[in-house]
Chains A and B, each alone.
Chain A
Amino acid sequence: MRSLNSLQFNRTTRARFVWLVSQKLKSAGSHVGLAALILTFVLVGTVSAQHRISLSGDVQAKISYCKDCHGVSAQGFNGYYPIPRLAGQQPEYIENQLRAFIEHRRTNNIMFNVAHSLSPAMINALTAHFASLNPPPIGGAPRQLVATGRKIFEDGMPEVNIAACAACHGPEATGSGQIPRLAGQLYPYMIKTLGSWDKERGRNPTVPDAAAIMSPVAHSLNKSQIEAVAAFVSTLRSPRGTPNAVQ
């Protein structure tokens, strides 16, 4: 026996309440009762309309669905595949990735289907919600790699042509615009993404993709450098970043 979802239950409760009121008023037997009944409908309708404006049932349901895979508070989840953190992510970045799935610039069958089911209004609501979340990082990366990762992230390694991640991703890895937040991202997800950049991003040769900018960076990092950077950013606990801060 399946329980009703929360929205249906609320509708049922409201309906029952209104019916009860109308019955009581009927027994009182006056036109005042009818007026009161209409007033009740109006009030209830207003309250539920306000509820819709703030966070409609559809959006709530969709958020819950995203979190089924992307984790509690969208903190990410180590499933069979590492599922990335969306909490605190730049809205423009998420939007671009959703479009990337649809345009096959990123090839992921499941996210292709997900992205297809989202209207632009829904995407706006989702990205705004995710941007507002800030759970602590899941963690779990080897601690001894963090110091090296910090060095690479903040200073780069100019002698081997590795750019400093902070220049674009920000000193606290909060990202900006289309440049993603990395703070608190999952360690295995970072490794997978950096380690196989060309196989994951910019996969549609007919559609230009900003992901191309990361290709030389990902290439110039060796395996242990990738692991170090991944470990470092996975520990970062940042406030939601202010983009385009003056240097």
Chain B
Amino acid sequence: MKPMNFRRPQGQHRSTFRSPAGTALILPAAVLALSFSSPAAAQGNVSKAEADAKLRYCEVCHGVSAQGFHGYYPIPRLAGQPTEYLKNQLQAFVEHRRTSNIMFNVGHVLSPAMIDALTTDFNQLNPKPLGGAPKENIDEGKNIFENGVAAANVPACASCHGPQAKGNGPFPRLAGQLYDYITAKLTNWDKERGQNPSSPDTSAVMQPIAHSLTQPQIKAVAAYLSYLE
């Protein structure tokens, strides 16, 4: 079921259009649709100009080359993220599995074609990490990342997120992610992810892990990851 204010961008192929008055209106409707469409749009793509404009818009908050930005809230790095992960998060915002008013609105206006274009662009960006995290406990963070915390039944992060924390498929890249973003997410996992009880969420896999890590451990891992390229 589509959200109420989902809007088709102009010219998207209308194969499922049905007029209440009957099929007599299909031909004029098709003529109308075609007259507003550009050849590229009719194939379900977005124009490069549109995609570039949208990318620049995302970068206003997510930082130059989507490296992340310290706004009022820490706004996460999107550069180098697996496309599947990004698509899942955008869907999560729309379905209220993640609750962010701003990202809900953003997610709503993106067509599938636009999402394809954006996630591809983000995945290919590779700016240096923003940095700035305290460096004292990076070694401990590296240890937790590579070996987990056996005593607390915390598996090694690397086992899912990859040895260089570059992520894969539904597992996000953590390398170069903002220190205070990771810290906030791990600390508040229950309030941040899987917020829609009627729509279970793969984020549930992180819940026991986030719970079992102590605050100093979270900070150590976050600091380590924030410097990884």
In contact, B72 and A167 (Cβ under 8 angstroms): yes
Which of B79-87, B98-106, B137-145, B208-216 lies at the binding interface? B98-106
Does A213 sit at the interface, judged by CB under 8 A? yes
Q: Are A163 and B57 CB-contacts (below 8 A) given A156-B106, A168-B69? A: yes
In contact, A216 and B101 (Cβ under 8 angstroms): no
Q: Which residue on B lies nearest to A168, using beta carbons?
A: B71
Hey, which bits of chain A sit against chain B, CB under 8 A? 154-156, 158-159, 161-164, 166-171, 174-177, 179, 213, 216-217, 220, 241, 243-247
Hey, which bits of chain B sit against chain A, CB under 8 A? 7, 53-54, 56-57, 60-61, 69-75, 100-102, 105-106, 108-110, 180, 184, 187-188, 192
Q: How far in angstroms is the closest Cβ of chain B from A99?
A: 19
| Whole-angstrom CA separation of A174 from B70 in the bound complex | 14
Q: Which residues of B contact A155 (CB under 8 A)?
A: 101-102, 105
Q: Are A247 and B109 CB-contacts (below 8 A) given A159-B7, A161-B56, A163-B61? A: no
In contact, A247 and B7 (Cβ under 8 angstroms): no
In contact, B105 and A246 (Cβ under 8 angstroms): no
| Whole-angstrom CA separation of A191 from B100 in the bound complex | 28
In contact, B71 and A156 (Cβ under 8 angstroms): no
Best-buried of B61, B72, B74, B110 by chain A (most CB within 10 Å): B72
Q: Are A167 and B102 CB-contacts (below 8 A) given A213-B60, A216-B60? A: yes
Q: Are A246 and B188 CB-contacts (below 8 A) given A155-B105, A159-B109, A168-B61? A: yes
In contact, B72 and A176 (Cβ under 8 angstroms): yes
Q: Which residue on A lies nearest to B74, using beta carbons?
A: A244
Contact of B102 among A166, A176, A179, A217 (CB under 8 A): A166
Contact of A158 among B57, B71, B73, B75 (CB under 8 A): B57
In contact, B72 and A158 (Cβ under 8 angstroms): no
Q: How far in angstroms is the closest Cβ of chain A from B179?
A: 11
Q: Which residues of A contact B106 (CB under 8 A)?
A: 156, 158
In contact, B105 and A164 (Cβ under 8 angstroms): yes
| Whole-angstrom CA separation of A245 from B184 in the bound complex | 9
Q: Which residue on A lies nearest to B108, using beta carbons?
A: A158
27 A-B contacts, Cβ less than 8 Å apart?
A154-B102, A155-B105, A156-B105, A156-B106, A158-B109, A163-B57, A163-B61, A164-B102, A166-B102, A167-B75, A168-B61, A168-B69, A168-B71, A169-B72, A175-B72, A176-B72, A177-B70, A213-B60, A213-B69, A216-B60, A241-B72, A243-B72, A245-B72, A245-B73, A246-B73, A246-B184, A247-B184
